[in-house]
Amino acid sequence: MKDRLRALRKESGLTQEQLAEHLQMSKGTIAMWEQGTRKPSYQVLGRLSLVYDRKISYILGESDDETGPAFWEEDWDDVMKFMDESALREVIMKYLRLDRRGRAAAEALIDTEFRSSMAEGTLLPSDIFGLELSIHKPEQGK
């Protein structure tokens, strides 16, 4: 992946500084990706997909298919690498246990990130997810 990231950046005619500025990250973060000491998050991979007009699997070096970032069924595997159902359940449980202030802070962060992703065009389609949730009211005195 590190070689693919470097090649795509150079192919696009961007310096590490320019890419970092575009992604609102540090040049050091870009350098660490290209050295292989860090990997971009899924959200950042989505943004890179748009910058380079390549699918995420191509950026990850898992495919030689250079088509654009349109969401394809085979991208589902890429999505699921970063979304584990038990991890999502744990996040939801943590959220449910927060007090009113904590929930407000979490919701504000989610709203901010959602709007940012929407503006960048990196949101995943909502129709690829299904959610079932059951919240049980505790018995009196517990």
Q: What is the CATH number of the domain that holds 1?
A: 1.10.260.40
CA 38 vs. chain centroid, Å, equals: 15
Q: What's the CA gap between 91 and 29, in Å, rounded?
A: 26
Q: What's the CA gap between 58 and 66, in Å, rounded?
A: 6
Q: Which two tokens stand for residue 101?
A: 């202030």
Whether residues 71 and 6 fall in one domain: yes
Give the tens place of pLDDT for each residue, 15-27: 999 999 988 899 9
Indicate the pTM of the whole model: 0.49
Domain that holds residue 49: 1-81
Whether residues 108 and 53 fall in one domain: no
Whether residues 60 and 71 fall in one domain: yes
Whether residues 93 and 31 fall in one domain: no
Task: Give the pLDDT band (50/70/90) at residue 11.
Answer: very high
Whether residues 1 and 70 fall in one domain: yes
Whether residues 3 and 50 fall in one domain: yes
Q: What's the CA gap between 71 and 129, in Å, rounded?
A: 13
Whether residues 53 and 28 fall in one domain: yes
Q: What's the CA gap between 7 and 59, in Å, rounded?
A: 10
Task: Give the count of beta carbons closer than 10 Å to the beta carbon of residue 1.
Answer: 15
Give the tens place of pLDDT for each residue, 88-135: 888 889 999 999 999 999 999 998 888 887 777 777 767 666 777 787
Give the tens place of pLDDT for each residue, 41-100: 877 888 888 888 888 888 888 888 877 765 555 556 666 655 667 778 888 899 999 999
Q: Is residue 112 part of a domain?
A: yes
Q: Is residue 18 part of a domain?
A: yes
Give pLDDT, residue 104.
94
Whether residues 55 and 89 fall in one domain: no
> In the chain, how many domains are there?
2
